[in-house]
Structure 1
Amino acid sequence: MIRDERYIFPVSHSKGQRPDEEDLEERILRAAEALLTSEGPGFTMEALAQAVGVSRATLYRRVPSREKLAERLRQERAVEPGTALTREPSRQKILETTRQLVGRLGLVALTVEQIAEAAGVSPVTIYRTFGDKDALLRTMFAELGPRSEAAALFAELDAPLEDTLTRFVLALFRWRAEQPAFFAMLIFSQGEEARYVEQLRERQYGTTDRLARYLAAQAERGRLRPGSPVDRALGLIGLALGATFDVRRLLAEPPPATAEASTEPGHQEARARAVVELFLHGVAASRAEGDAS
């Protein structure tokens, strides 16, 4: 069974965890501490991967975000909150503020001046940090959406296909739950907003592109039948996003026993695996099974 990404770096290791996995976690923590001392909290994840001696894909598989690493450093190394490993405060605040304002005001109407005022920085800081509004929005898409996690997952072509796709679906579940306004803007924008989204996506490989390339590579390796990788990517994403909707209201089903039941890690993983099972194998009985019945 795979681990929900929220529980990467568990507080206590499971009995079945291999020694080399424990050693890798310890190396990551030691390297992060050393970089905190030598470079401060602004060091890059690429620098951390180099210090540990692993690929960025391997690092992101163990550490899905800087915030998760910061939490583990506080737990395991008693790193003070003031030295938490986060992006530069002003940069991260600008990105978060931009995401919030995009959900309220939309992409087109939003201005750098509005972002600066809400973030408590000057417009000059935004231009110096990101370049211009388009560059800021592209960074927001890349860092606050599922793209970076997808890139790390799909870089490992030899990993089990079903596990990789399940992890990807879980990432989509989290993104949908944690950033609903951002999700709605990307998926449901129309007219001028939709055209602006497409303009911002130019020259970038988005999540769907990365998934399509991954599926094409798996077909070339004989793990999937030949077929349109784009259609397949859209199909999986559609299944995953559809599974995030509260269909109980449509089916007149009673709510779960507890309000948290549908968001518990085990439930989410089971739902993600069901989505992947449907995507890979469908629901029709095989000819032999149909004949037997």
Structure 2
Amino acid sequence: MSLPENIADAAARLVALHGPDGFTMDDLARESGLSRATLYRQAGSREAVLASLSEQGLEVGKRVDVRDRILAACRVVFTRAGFEAATLEDIAREAGVGPATVYRQFGDKEGLISAFAGHIGPRRAMHAVALRPTGDLRADLERVAAAVIRYAAEDLDLLRLALLERIRGGPWAELLMASPSRARTMLTHLLEPYAKSGSLGPDDPRRMAQAFAGMLLAFFSGPVLEGGPLPDPEETARFVTHVFLDGLASTARRTP
């Protein structure tokens, strides 16, 4: 598809400024001075714009997988509109794909939110750390804690939305709960070999995982609910791990 000159020029400027995945069709509409409806009518989808630029010899780089692009669009749309008000059509426009593509990838809104919760949740942030224990319990826990806090810093607005959804018992609360639950399960798997070796004392690894996760939650629940910056990930990770392990050691000493 050949783009009108004003759209092609505007798209080329946006690619030069932000890269091929750094602009939306809304950005392009503003840059080209057109309404969104007119832009879609004249240019088609975001992918069609980039394909046309590539045909003209402009380097548009490696394209991001369509599924990842839709999930990235979810972050923008959910933060802007909330889980309830956001529509699959809104997300499709933000991702530069047709609504049918979103339905084909995720089935429906429930499937999309479920995938998104896993995509951004703490489980994703801690996956590489928790599933590859090094044999150094303190170092492993510090790495997990820092990963979770860094994740929270990147998605503070979304964490706030998810927490409010859970508090009000909204229709998406159960889906949003699934990712933290899986994260605790992953943390339990990390602690199990240390518990078996005697490094953690006699308590149940699931209870210990819940306690450690609760300590981490306490450090970012304030900023999530009240605003303000999150604590330094590395320093907080060291502190939480120190308190957690000292508490377990103290409990083990008191156990007959």
Q: TM-score range by the shorter chain?
A: 0.5 to 0.7
Contact 1:91 1:129 in 2 (8 A): yes
Q: Which residue of 1 aligns with 2:22?
A: none
227, 239, 242: which one pairs with 2:218?
A: 242
198, 213, 218: which one pairs with 1:222?
A: 198
Q: Which residue of 2 aligns with 1:83?
A: 61
Within-5 A mapping of 1:139-288: 139-188=115-164, 189-193=166-170, 196-199=172-175, 206-244=182-220, 268-282=233-247
Provide the C-alpha distance between the structure 2 equivalents of 1:203 and 1:181, rounded to a whole number of angstroms: 17
Provide the C-alpha distance between the structure 1 equivalents of 2:172 and 2:205, rounded to a whole number of angstroms: 25
Q: CA-to-partner distance for each residue in 1:24-52, whole Å, 9 max, x for gaps?
A: xxxxxxxxxxxxxxxxxxxxxxxxxxxxx
Provide the C-alpha distance between the structure 1 equivalents of 2:161 and 2:207, rounded to a whole number of angstroms: 22
Q: Which amino acid aligns with 2:191?
A: L
Contact 1:108 1:192 in 2 (8 A): no
Cα 1:268/1:200, change in 2 over 3 Å: closer
- TM-score of the aligned structures, taking structure 2 as reference length: 0.60
Cα 1:187/1:229, change in 2 over 3 Å: farther
User: Rg: which structure is higher?
Assistant: 2
Q: CA-to-partner distance for each residue in 1:193-220, whole Å, 9 max, x for gaps?
A: 3x63324666996212211232234212
107, 111, 118: which one pairs with 1:131?
A: 107
Q: Which residue of 1 aligns with 2:32?
A: none
When structure 1 is superposed on structure 2, of 159-168 and 205-214 the one drifting more is 205-214
SS at match of 1:243: helix
Contact 1:97 1:115 in 2 (8 A): yes
Contact 2:73 2:91 in 1 (8 A): yes
Alpha-carbon offset, residue 163 of structure 1: 1.0
Alpha-carbon offset, residue 240 of structure 1: 2.0
Cα 1:222/1:114, change in 2 over 3 Å: same
Alpha-carbon offset, residue 158 of structure 1: 4.4
Cα 1:157/1:120, change in 2 over 3 Å: closer
Provide the C-alpha distance between the structure 2 equivalents of 1:150 and 1:272, rounded to a whole number of angstroms: 13
Cα RMSD over matched residues?
3.7
Q: Which amino acid aligns with 1:83?
A: G
Within-5 A mapping of 1:101-112: 101-112=77-88
SS at match of 2:83: coil
Cα 1:199/1:269, change in 2 over 3 Å: closer
Q: Which amino acid aligns with 2:208?
A: R
Provide the C-alpha distance between the structure 2 equivalents of 1:184 and 1:200, rounded to a whole number of angstroms: 12
Q: Which amino acid aligns with 1:178?
A: E
Cα 1:184/1:233, change in 2 over 3 Å: farther
Contact 1:102 1:182 in 2 (8 A): yes
Q: Which amino acid aligns with 1:191?
A: R
Q: CA-to-partner distance for each residue in 1:265-285, whole Å, 9 max, x for gaps?
A: xx5322211111011113998
SS at match of 1:121: coil
Of all paired residues, the percent bearing the same amino acid is 29
Alpha-carbon offset, residue 109 of structure 1: 3.7
Q: Which amino acid aligns with 2:95?
A: A
- TM-score of the aligned structures, taking structure 1 as reference length: 0.53
SS at match of 1:83: coil
Provide the C-alpha distance between the structure 2 equivalents of 1:285 and 1:217, rounded to a whole number of angstroms: 20
SS at match of 2:206: helix
Contact 1:170 1:268 in 2 (8 A): yes
Counting matched residue pairs gives 190
Q: Where in structure 1 are there 5+ consecutive unaligned residues?
A: 1-80, 251-258, 289-293
